[in-house]
């Protein structure tokens, strides 16, 4: 279906080639997963397949790529529209109309399909992706999962032979992600569609895929059966890491496979390190909030929570459940209609701009919003100046957090993880009592996530700060959080220890606790601690 | 839920407000009267308020109003400070600075005459009217729908227009978000200075969005096939014609009867401009 023959790609002015002399073939009806570190070239490889590279984005391409017998070099992406569908990283940016139905029909309109056939195709796809109830809704009002489904429907409506998806689940909660993936799985099996998807969160997709393409980042790629690639890959889901840690000698791809080979581990009851919690930092009492002027729909209703110093609390829940609104309460940016918020003893609305950063450090979903310097050096100097602290402080915090890139690089050009680290050190330089992160792991690879996890733990335990994170990432929560607060429809549904809340529903249970249900472990580091104590 | 093969009934044809703006532009340029500029400005604002909606393109209108106010102030200030000597009654005098010979005929300060003030005002209000007409058109029409009705032969033009007309409203949203984020860094959130540092991230974001949109159009075959079809065609109905007829009549009136009182004309025009507000 797709053949790469001696393909190399380099961007003008770039120091390294994205891929170099790669050749492989993808068969019809395969579900292929594309993995690699951030910036290794996953998106580029997808765009090569439908010709957006080099026709749209530029880049120097040598070798030959053919999709269903057509060469992407000879024809433009538009002429492949009937055989390749692509869904980008942010579907909302690619939407060309506002109504779900019109959005789905767009490709058919472009291809000049007759109206009667078009209506039938649109109906079929609406049913296939369970979008019929949303057909007249505005795309911008939909949740992330629904938007993702609309984008997939819009790509599928032309009956393409190949579907390309760039991180289809990174913005979704576990349940919505599951939904999207099982739809893809069904399409592959029922229609013989060829699907290639790039994804960071392997634990979500690994059970569905046939083969994996691993992009090393030095120009070479490996293509092989999932098991074979994962046995040597630096990137692997927690389940595979667990099997390696326990030296099981096999690579399990699903919980079922793991349990077949898993040993029974009798665990000496390891006393969880009793944490000394500090004073209450954040108090939210019976808060309601609404973005409507007439308060018809509530973003939050009667929410009460407390967060103490030294504690990491994770806020979970569906897209649109009110997580970000709740976080914004702490900086006085939420439209409260009722209730009170206290940071230590102060109402955040009463903070002046300079006071705010000494109480609350807040990293918004897009950490880049906080940055405006022209280089890392300038950014750190600005932060020192803003906070009135000794110059060089912010930079030394940054250096402590991670291996930093060159001081002269522009904050836009560094990796996602490095940018998050920079924002984090700027926030920390003001020494806030409460640190808030909104969806910090979106777009982070496993390596960057490990660094973040280490740093969050340090911030909470060594510096005794309160940390509040909103996230969809179950594995992150399992690693760092002491407590989980679960929101649904603006209400607190559960508030308890991570173990209780996560294990209450299979969709939210982390892989380690699903794999070893008789033990009390949630994450790999729990297992590591056990193993090191045993020896 | 309507299942007819028609676009939604609620909104006007996507090209309507752009044609409306074009006609008003011609009227403005032909009349050159402050009274007519004023009545068109008031009409445009009134119409936008009558058609209030929750869409992001509508939300951009308040930024346009600020822009219009800024343009007005600047033009008036320049009119008072810089200028060639003009006859007329001297209202007040500001200290004058003589410039080097290079700028012969131009001076700073000096006598401010009534004539000079009226000229400045006429031009300032014309500027305001121009800004408001196009702000109203972009606040009332959906940029994405505009793309769908453009002939696809003009792929490049369509794309450029959509990007241009959606950048302003979407940037307005980005500005709000980035300013809120800046406050989280201890930046002051009030005053003009707070706007100066948001430029780069906002531009970057709108650039990225435009590239994504263009890539999406391209990979979905936009403009590649000679005869596109329509899923729910937008139909130009009687109400669009009626609503557009009013400003056209005003234009004809202006061209054929130059002697008619401009107060009468301005009044008629005001009604013509807000006509779409009464038709739904």
Contact yes or no for B8/B135 (Cβ under 8 A)? no
Q: Is residue A337 part of a domain?
A: no
Residues from chain B that touch A84, judged by Cβ atoms under 8 A, are 219
A371 in the same domain as A259: no
A308 in the same domain as A445: yes
Chain A contact present for B219, CB below 8 A? yes
Could you say which DSSP state residue A527 is in? H
Q: What is the spatial distance between Cα A390 and Cα A513, in angstroms, rounded to a whole number?
A: 46
Q: Is residue B3 part of a domain?
A: no
Residues 7-36 (B) with a CB less than 8 A from some CB of A: 8
A244 in the same domain as A221: no
Out of B180, B200, B220, the one facing A106 most closely (by C-beta) is B220
Q: How many domains does chain B have?
A: 2
Mean pLDDT computed over A249-275:
77
B188 has pLDDT over 60? no
A273 has pLDDT over 60? no
Choosing from B193, B208, B226, the residue where a domain stops is: B226
pLDDT digits (tens, 9 = 90+) for A129-165: 889 999 988 888 788 778 888 999 999 999 999 999 9
Contact yes or no for A490/A301 (Cβ under 8 A)? yes
Quote the radius of gyration of chain A (alpha carbons, Å). 24
Q: Does B222 contact A96 at a Cβ distance shorter than 8 Å?
A: yes
- Min Cα distance B220 → chain A (Å) is 5
Does A232 or B232 have the greater pLDDT score?
A: A232
B247 in the same domain as B183: no
B127 in the same domain as B31: yes
A190 has pLDDT over 60? yes
- Min Cα distance A311 → chain B (Å) is 22
Q: Is residue B171 part of a domain?
A: yes
B54 in the same domain as B170: no
A472 in the same domain as A420: yes
What per-residue confidence (pLDDT) applies to B237?
Answer: 86
Q: Is residue A152 part of a domain?
A: yes
B87 has pLDDT over 90? no
What per-residue confidence (pLDDT) applies to A270?
Answer: 54
User: How far, CA to CA in Å, does A282 sit from each of A126, A279, A433?
Assistant: 45, 9, 9
Chain A contact present for B142, CB below 8 A? yes
B173 in the same domain as B122: no
Mean pLDDT computed over A302-307:
94
Surface-to-core class of residue B67, CB atoms within 10 Å of its CB (0-12 exposed, 13-18 middle, 19+ buried) = middle
pLDDT digits (tens, 9 = 90+) for A435-465: 999 999 888 888 889 999 999 999 998 888 9
Q: Does A369 contact B177 at a Cβ distance shorter than 8 Å?
A: yes
- Min Cα distance A410 → chain B (Å) is 12
Q: Does A108 contact B231 at a Cβ distance shorter than 8 Å?
A: yes
B220 in the same domain as B127: no
Least confident among A235-249, A492-506, B228-242: B228-242
Give the domain extent around A190.
Answer: 2-226
Does B109 or A397 have the greater pLDDT score?
A: A397
* Nearest residue on chain A to B162, alpha-carbon basis: A96
- Min Cα distance A94 → chain B (Å) is 5
A492 in the same domain as A408: yes
What per-residue confidence (pLDDT) applies to A271?
Answer: 53
A466 has pLDDT over 60? yes
Give the domain extent around B248.
Answer: 8-141+235-280
What per-residue confidence (pLDDT) applies to B1?
Answer: 35
Residues from chain B that touch A368, judged by Cβ atoms under 8 A, are 201
Q: Is residue B2 part of a domain?
A: no
> What sign results for the dihedral spanned by CA atoms A370, A374, A376, A379?
negative
A197 has pLDDT over 60? yes
Q: Where residue A185 sits, what CATH number does that domain have?
A: 3.40.50.300
pLDDT digits (tens, 9 = 90+) for B114-160: 888 888 899 999 999 999 999 999 888 887 787 777 776 676 777 77
Strands A491-497 and A360-363: what pairing? unpaired
Is the bond preceding residue A203 a cis peptide, omega within 30 degrees? no
B83 in the same domain as B122: yes
Q: Is residue B81 part of a domain?
A: yes
B122 in the same domain as B248: yes
Least confident among A403-417, B172-186, B192-206, B215-229: B192-206
Task: Please give the mean pLDDT across all residues of chain A.
Answer: 89
A99 has pLDDT over 50? yes
Chain A contact present for B97, CB below 8 A? no
Q: Which of A72, A198, A14 is nearest to B218 (CA)?
A: A72
Out of B187, B216, B229, the one facing A353 most closely (by C-beta) is B187
What per-residue confidence (pLDDT) applies to A501?
Answer: 92
A300 has pLDDT over 80? yes
Choosing from A226, A250, A275, the residue where a domain stops is: A226
Chain A contact present for B212, CB below 8 A? yes
What per-residue confidence (pLDDT) applies to A242?
Answer: 92
What per-residue confidence (pLDDT) applies to A163?
Answer: 96
What per-residue confidence (pLDDT) applies to A521?
Answer: 86
Q: Does A112 contact B217 at a Cβ distance shorter than 8 Å?
A: no
Q: Is residue B1 part of a domain?
A: no
Q: What is the spatial distance between Cα A380 and Cα A384, in angstroms, rounded to a whole number?
A: 6
* Nearest residue on chain A to B163, alpha-carbon basis: A96
Q: How many domains does chain A have?
A: 3
Count of other CB atoms within 10 angstroms of residue B91 = 13
Q: Does B221 contact A81 at a Cβ distance shorter than 8 Å?
A: yes
- Min Cα distance B229 → chain A (Å) is 5
Q: Is residue A318 part of a domain?
A: yes
Count of other CB atoms within 10 angstroms of residue B207 = 12
Beta bridge mates, A163: A85, A195
Beta bridge mates, B83: B107
User: How far, CA to CA in Å, does B202 sit from each of A275, B134, B194?
Assistant: 43, 22, 13
A129 in the same domain as A58: yes
ipTM: 0.82
B7 has pLDDT over 60? no
Kindly give, in sequence order, each residue whose CB lies less than 8 Å from that of residue A372, ignoring residues fewer than 6 positions away.
Answer: A379, A382, B182, B197, B198, B200, B201
Name all contacts of A213-217 with Cβ < 8 Å and 24+ positions apart: A213/A24, A213/A32, A213/A33, A213/A34, A213/A35, A213/A45, A214/A35, A214/A36, A215/A19, A215/A34, A215/A35, A215/A36, A215/A40, A215/A41, A215/A42, A215/A45, A216/A36, A216/A40, A217/A36, A217/A37, A217/A39, A217/A40, A217/A41
B124 in the same domain as B18: yes
Model confidence at A274, in pLDDT bands (50, 70, 90)? low
What per-residue confidence (pLDDT) applies to A227?
Answer: 92
B120 in the same domain as B26: yes
Model confidence at B94, in pLDDT bands (50, 70, 90)? confident
Model confidence at A485, in pLDDT bands (50, 70, 90)? very high
Does B50 or A535 have the greater pLDDT score?
A: B50
Place of tokens 């609350």: A360
Beta bridge mates, B93: B111
Kindly give, in sequence order, each residue whose CB lies less than 8 Å from that of residue A233, ignoring residues fewer than 6 positions away.
Answer: A35, A212, A214, A222
Residues from chain A that touch B227, judged by Cβ atoms under 8 A, are 112
Q: Is residue A272 part of a domain?
A: no
A522 in the same domain as A471: no
B2 has pLDDT over 50? no
Model confidence at A468, in pLDDT bands (50, 70, 90)? very high
B125 in the same domain as B15: yes
Percentages helix, strand, coil for chain B (3-state, rounded to 5) are 65, 5, 25
Q: Does B152 contact A110 at a Cβ distance shorter than 8 Å?
A: yes
Does B203 or A3 have the greater pLDDT score?
A: A3
Cα-Cα-Cα-Cα torsion B243, B249, B255, B261, nearest 10 degrees, comes to: -100
Does B255 or A23 have the greater pLDDT score?
A: A23
A251 has pLDDT over 70? yes
Q: Is residue B170 part of a domain?
A: yes
Q: How many CA atoms lie within 13 A of A443 on its CB side?
A: 17
DSSP states along B200-222:
HHHHHHHHHHHHHHHHHHHHTTT
Mean pLDDT computed over A234-238:
91
A148 in the same domain as A112: yes
Least confident among A258-272, A505-519, B203-217: A258-272
Model confidence at B5, in pLDDT bands (50, 70, 90)? very low
Q: Which of A491, A492, A471 is nearest to A481 (CA)?
A: A471
Beta bridge mates, B164: none
A369 in the same domain as A434: yes
Choosing from A178, A198, A226, the residue where a domain stops is: A226
Q: Does B178 contact A369 at a Cβ distance shorter than 8 Å?
A: yes
pTM: 0.83
A335 has pLDDT over 50? yes
B85 has pLDDT over 50? yes
Q: Is residue A291 part of a domain?
A: no
Q: Does B209 contact A105 at a Cβ distance shorter than 8 Å?
A: no
Beta bridge mates, A437: A363, A469
A127 in the same domain as A193: yes
CB pairs under 8 A between A and B: 164
A455 in the same domain as A314: yes
Q: Is residue B210 part of a domain?
A: yes
Contact yes or no for B24/B92 (Cβ under 8 A)? no
A145 in the same domain as A9: yes
Q: What is the spatial distance between Cα B217 and Cα A78, in angstroms, rounded to a whole number?
A: 8
What per-residue confidence (pLDDT) applies to B252?
Answer: 87
pLDDT digits (tens, 9 = 90+) for A34-71: 998 887 888 889 999 989 988 888 888 999 999 999 99
């Amino acid at each position: 279906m797709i053949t790469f023959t001696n393909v190399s790609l380099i961007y003008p002015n770039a120091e390294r080639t994205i891929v170099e002399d790669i050749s492989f073939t993808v068969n019809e009806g395969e579900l292929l997963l594309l993995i690699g570190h951030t910036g290794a070239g996953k998106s580029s490889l997808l765009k090569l397949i439908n010709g957006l590279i080099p026709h749209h984005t530029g880049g120097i391409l040598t070798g030959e790529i053919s999709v269903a017998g057509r060469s992407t070099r000879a024809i433009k992406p538009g002429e492949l529209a009937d055989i390749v569908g692509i869904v980008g990283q942010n579907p909302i940016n690619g939407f060309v109309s506002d109504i779900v139905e019109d959005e789905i029909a767009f490709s058919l309109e472009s291809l000049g399909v007759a109206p009667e056939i078009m209506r039938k195709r649109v109906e079929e796809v609406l049913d296939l992706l369970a979008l019929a109830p949303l057909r007249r809704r505005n795309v911008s009002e939909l949740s992330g999962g629904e938007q993702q489904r609309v984008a997939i429907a819009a790509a599928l409506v032309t009956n393409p032979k190949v579907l390309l998806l760039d991180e289809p689940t990174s913005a979704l909660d576990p349940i919505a992600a599951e939904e999207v993936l099982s739809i893809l799985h069904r399409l592959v099996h029922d229609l013989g569609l060829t699907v290639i998807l790039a994804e960071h969160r392997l634990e979500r997709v690994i059970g569905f895929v046939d083969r994996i393409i691993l992009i090393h980042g030095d120009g070479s790629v490996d293509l092989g059966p999932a098991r074979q690639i994962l046995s040597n890959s630096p990137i692997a889901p927690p389940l595979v890491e667990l099997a390696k840690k326990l030296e099981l000698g096999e690579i399990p791809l699903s919980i079922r496979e793991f349990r077949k080979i898993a040993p029974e581990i009798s665990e000496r009851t390891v006393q969880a390190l009793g944490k000394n919690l500090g004073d209450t930092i954040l108090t939210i009492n019976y808060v309601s909030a609404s973005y409507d002027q007439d308060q018809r729909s509530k973003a939050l209703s009667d929410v009460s929570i407390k967060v103490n110093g030294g504690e990491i609390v994770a806020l979970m829940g569906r897209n649109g459940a009110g997580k970000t609104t709740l976080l914004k309460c702490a900086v006085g940016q939420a439209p409260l209609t009722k209730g009170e918020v206290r940071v230590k003893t102060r109402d955040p609305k009463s903070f002046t701009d300079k006071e705010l950063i000494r109480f609350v450090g807040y990293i918004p979903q897009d950490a880049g919003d906080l940055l405006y310097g022209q280089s890392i050096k300038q950014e750190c100097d600005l932060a020192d100046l803003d906070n009135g602290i000794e110059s060089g402080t912010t930079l030394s915090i940054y250096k402590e957090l991670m291996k930093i890139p060159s001081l002269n690089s522009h904050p836009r050009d560094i990796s996602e993880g490095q940018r998050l680290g920079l924002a984090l050190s700027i926030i920390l330089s003001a020494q806030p009592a409460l640190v808030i992160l909104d969806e910090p792991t979106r777009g982070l690879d496993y390596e960057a996530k490990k660094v973040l996890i280490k740093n969050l733990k340090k911030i909470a335990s060594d510096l005794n700060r309160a940390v509040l994170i909103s996230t969809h990432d179950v594995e992150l929560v399992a690693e760092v959080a002491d407590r989980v607060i679960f929101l649904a429809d603006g209400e607190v549904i559960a508030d308890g220890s991570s173990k209780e809340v996560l294990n209450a529903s299979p969709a939210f249970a982390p892989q380690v606790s699903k794999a070893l249900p008789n033990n009390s472990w949630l994450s790999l580091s729990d297992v590591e601690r056990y193993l090191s104590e045993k020896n | 839920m309507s299942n007819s093969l028609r676009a939604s009934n609620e909104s006007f044809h996507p090209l309507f407000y752009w044609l409306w703006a074009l006609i008003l532009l011609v009227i403005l340029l032909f009349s050159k009267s402050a009274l007519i500029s004023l009545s068109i400005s008031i009409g445009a604002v009134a119409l936008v308020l009558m058609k209030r909606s929750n869409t992001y393109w509508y939300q951009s209108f308040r930024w346009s109003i600020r822009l219009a106010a800024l343009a007005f102030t600047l033009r008036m200030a320049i009119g008072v400070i810089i200028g060639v000597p003009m006859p007329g009654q001297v209202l007040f005098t500001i200290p004058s600075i003589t410039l080097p010979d290079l700028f012969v005929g131009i001076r700073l300060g000096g006598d401010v005459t009534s004539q000079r003030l009226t000229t400045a005002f006429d031009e300032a209000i014309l500027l305001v009217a121009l800004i408001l007409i196009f702000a109203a058109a972009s606040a009332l029409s959906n940029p994405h729908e505009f793309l769908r009705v453009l002939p696809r032969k003009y792929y490049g033009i369509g794309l450029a227009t959509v990007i241009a007309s959606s950048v302003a409203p979407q940037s307005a949203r980005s500005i709000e978000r980035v300013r809120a984020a800046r406050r989280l860094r201890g930046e002051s959130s009030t005053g003009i200075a707070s706007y100066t540092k948001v430029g780069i991230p906002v531009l970057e974001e709108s650039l990225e969005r435009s590239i994504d949109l263009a890539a999406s159009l391209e990979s979905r075959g936009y403009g590649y096939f000679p005869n596109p079809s329509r899923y729910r065609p937008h139909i130009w109905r009687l109400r669009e014609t009626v609503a557009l007829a009013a400003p056209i009549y005003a234009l004809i009136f202006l061209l054929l009867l130059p002697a008619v009182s401009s107060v009468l004309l301005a009044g008629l025009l005001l009604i013509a401009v807000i006509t779409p507000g009464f038709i739904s």
